[in-house]
Amino acid sequence: MQNGSRNFTEQSIVIVGVGLIGGSIAAAVRKRFPECKVIGIGRNRERLKRATERGLLTDWSEQMTSATIPHGSLGIVCLPVNQISIAVRQLADAGCELVTDAGSVKGCVYAALDDASRGRFIGSHPIAGSEHTGFENSDADLFVDRMCVVTPVNATRIDTDRIVTFWKSIGSAVQQMSPDEHDRVLALTSHLPHIVAAVLSGCVEAELLPFTGTGFRDTTRIAAGSASLWGPILLGNATHCVESIDAAERLLQKFREAINTGDGPTLESLLEVSAQRRRTL
């Protein structure tokens, strides 16, 4: 039994946005708690129907209303960062008891809520994903042994426990942070890598691509991600992203100085610190 799953008491969850993450949450719940209703909300009825036929959803709707959301439901918004706060407000207005999300930035979501919806919201960020998209690539075990950051702000202990239990029930480890602390950490661990991968990819003209090897491929893989998804993430975490860029700049200048002056000991020491850290992963 998954850690925490004995405490799982959800009768129904409402997933707004049934893509890779939303579909994987649905699959994770359906696999472990088949008695729990899983209602999908989205704009494309054909895709919602197919997700239902596939067994990911027990029901679906294009509307967020009190008619489509069972009493006591937990809402989970799995939309791009710039669409989360609107959906949270709609779910709260429609009577969802408690709402969370799966977005990569937290502060900007809280900031865009009104007081009423903020009182029903506890942000989450499951650090899990895939280069694939769409519910067709759903994985019921996507969150197993992955970290999920939960960011309660003035939330009750009961509500916080409910969200923590939910993520543990589908296999995640959970760490609580403030939204700002989350955003500061993820700027370094996720958003900066995306920016830097894009810079590397952008520095290599197309005619030089035949002279790249596995190192370039690994290092730039995430740069192929959707610009329309990543733009709002980076802008939603602008302050911390700029701080992380400046930190990277300072370290890059140390490498440049060591290389430019032929300072082998300093260069190897810089490389060794980074290598040791990476090897601990």
Considering beta carbons, is residue 62 or 218 the nearer one to a copy of itself? 218
DSSP-assigned beta bridge partners for residue 40: 15, 60
Per rule CB under 8 A, is residue 144 in the interface with a copy of itself? no
The correct pick among 6, 147, 162, 178 for binding a copy of itself (CB under 8 A) is: 147
Task: Pick one of 112, 127, 144, 153: the residue that binds a copy of itself (CB under 8 A).
Answer: 127
112 binds a copy of itself (CB under 8 A): no
- If one asks whether residue 43 binds a copy of itself (CB under 8 A), the answer comes out as no
Q: Name residue, tokens 């027990």.
A: 58
- Residue 114 or 272 having the CB closest to a copy of itself: 272
Least distance in angstroms from the C-beta of 165 to a copy of itself: 20
* Minimum distance from residue 190 beta carbon to a copy of itself (Å): 6
Could you say which residues in the range 170-189 bind a copy of itself, by CB under 8 A? Answer: 173, 175, 185-186, 188-189
- Long-range contacts of 68-73, Cβ-Cβ distance < 8 Å, separation of 24 or more: 68/39, 68/41, 68/94, 69/14, 69/39, 69/94, 69/95, 69/96, 70/11, 70/12, 70/14, 70/37, 70/39, 71/95, 71/97, 72/11, 72/12, 72/97, 73/11, 73/12, 73/13, 73/14, 73/39, 73/97
Q: What's the min distance (Å) between Cβ of 164 and a copy of itself?
A: 16
Cα(276)–Cα(45) distance, integer angstroms: 50
Pairwise CA distance, residues 263 & 265, whole Å = 6
Q: Which of 64, 87, 128, 180 binds a copy of itself (CB under 8 A)?
A: 128
d(CA 167, CA 178) in angstroms, rounded, equals 17
- Residue 100 falls in which region: left (phi positive, over 0), alpha (psi -120 to 50) or beta: beta
Q: Which is nearer to a copy of itself, 153 or 267 (CB)?
A: 267
145 binds a copy of itself (CB under 8 A): no
Task: Give yes or no for residue 111 binding a copy of itself (CB under 8 A).
Answer: no
Binding flag, residue 81, a copy of itself (CB under 8 A) = no
Total residues contacting a copy of itself by CB under 8 A comes to 85
Specify the residue, 99 or 128, whose C-beta has the smaller distance to a copy of itself: 128
Question: Which of residues 157 and 250 has its CB atom nearest to a copy of itself in the complex?
Answer: 250
Nearest-angstrom CA–CA distance, 202 and 215: 15
Q: Which of residues 190-229 bind a copy of itself (CB under 8 A)?
A: 190, 192-204, 206, 208-228
273 contacts a copy of itself (rule: CB under 8 A): yes
